[in-house]
Structure 1
């Protein structure tokens, strides 16, 4: 090959090589840019706060305080032997009732999570028996159980005690039927269903509340925090 043609061929090959190198460099830049964008998007997604999953409850089968059609539904899991539940019932629940339940903004429900002792179950059976006679009587009995709560380390919630408490508070039910339902464990299936639901939701203790199906994980003794959580639900946040 003549020198001139050889020179032209070499120059052409070099030009082609440079073009290929430039294409490879461009591909690498595009690849790294794409990966960078995807990583950035992943980080942004991870940083965006996600709303907690709303759990489903069979509200119609639960004791309810307030209007069942209220926009906010609050479910408490409790044990009648739990001292913290008694404190919550004495100091926090009345404020929820005054600010939201009585105003038609919220309905308050209760589910049993008996775990402190065998008589936790007995108290739950008694409360469920009262509920099936009268929803209104249930809440009077509910308050009476916590107000007259015994030592959590003693088995105080006996059948006799539970029936006598209902009579003493004059809650207006059939007391013989109450005794029969407790002794025969008429509503054991319901108590077990409540407990199973608590276990399914990984409830760690009592009291635990859910606001429109979303577990509240703040301080149960701080009504300000609970009120904020309720207000956020009212705003749809």
Structure 2
């Protein structure tokens, strides 16, 4: 999806008045942030919920191929020893973690714009390794609809069974993300996107998606979100530093440069 189209979607959906003020997708703690100042999050639980395929009207949708560097990045050796998806060499001096959501238009905007720059400037030269973690809950429930969890389990299943195709899948999903909280991320749709991205082992993937096999991994991510205290996504975290890349892209670039300088 072109950058302008993505931004228009965000403005229409959330009523923002200027793209420079973008902070993050629907708050995981029931509020939206306008700064990156850490606050104490409300208490919440991460109990398992029904991730069965939502009932929707069947629509034949063409799959758009992503045009981004995300589709073609390196992954560490022995990738499956890492719980969460990672790009770049394991020997990189700095590891940054992206907290985002498969159904969040802010995360889509980040993936299709600033993330491209970060990959070219820091990941491809081997300076930074990037990790992606899905933020799935709000007050113990999937905050973009029931298929939020379907997408979360699918992403982790892809990484654990087909890590060499994961980032192609990642780029394909965000290139075909649908606006709003309507349930589009069904198991069938996500597996069709996986097939388009060259992901094998469809039978095993479907089984793990349906079983909700990665509940503990999603819960661990939410525990990290609570520790850092941010209330919206996407966020980029390096050590104890948290930035909001759609609200202030330059602060994220500065964050990464500072981390590299401190690693020497």
TM-score by length of 1: 0.70
Number of corresponding residues: 178
* Cα contact 2:236–2:244 (8 A) shared by 1: no
- Could you give the per-residue CA deviations for residues 168-197 of structure 1, whole angstroms, max 9, x where no partner exists? 2323x2011111110111112212221222
- Partners of 1:221 and 1:136 lie apart in 2 by 31
Which residue of the partner structure matches residue 132 of structure 1?
160
Following the alignment from structure 1 to structure 2, what is the Cα–Cα distance between the partners of residues 181 and 163?
12
Does residue 150 of structure 2 align to residue 122 of structure 1? yes
CA distance in 2, matches of 1:140, 1:219: 22
Distance 1:66 1:217 in 2: 20
Aligned to 1:72: 94
User: What residue in structure 2 maps to residue 48 of structure 1?
Assistant: none
Match of 2:127 among 105, 114, 138: 105
Change (3 A) 1:85 1:233: same
- 114-123 or 98-107, larger mean C-alpha shift: 114-123
Alpha-carbon distance in 2 for matches of 1:202, 1:219: 16
Contact 2:235/2:245, CA 8 A, preserved across alignment: no
Q: Distance in 2 between the 1:166 and 1:68 partners?
A: 25
Counterpart mapping for 1:13-162 below 5 A: 60-114=82-136, 115-162=143-190
3-state SS of the aligned residue for 1:206? coil
Residue 174 (str. 1) matches residue 201 (str. 2): yes
Residues 163 and 130 from structure 1, CA distance in 2 versus in 1: closer, same or farther, beyond 3 angstroms? same
Q: Distance in 2 between matches of 1:79 and 1:231?
A: 25
Cross-structure match for 1:188: 215
- Structure possessing the higher relative contact order (Cα contacts under 8 Å, 6 or more residues apart): 2
- The 8 Å contact of residues 92 and 129 in structure 2, kept in 1 or not, is answered as yes
CA contact (8 A) 1:92 1:221 kept: no
Q: Which residue matches 1:163?
A: 191
Contact 2:84–2:132 (Cα < 8 Å) also in 1: yes
Q: Does 1:235 align with 2:261?
A: yes
Q: TM-score under structure 2 normalisation?
A: 0.63
Q: Secondary structure at the match of 1:164?
A: helix
Q: How far apart, CA to CA, are the structure 2 residues paired with 1:147 and 1:226?
A: 23
Runs of 4+, deviation exceeding 4 Å = none
Q: In structure 2, do the counterparts of structure 1 residues 113 and 62 end up closer, same or farther at CA, with 3 Å as the change threshold?
A: same
Provide Cα deviations, 1:102-138, integer angstroms capped at 9, x if missing partner. Answer: 0010000011101322211110100100000122222
Q: Which runs of 5+ in 2 are unaligned?
A: 1-37, 39-80, 137-142
Higher helix share: 1
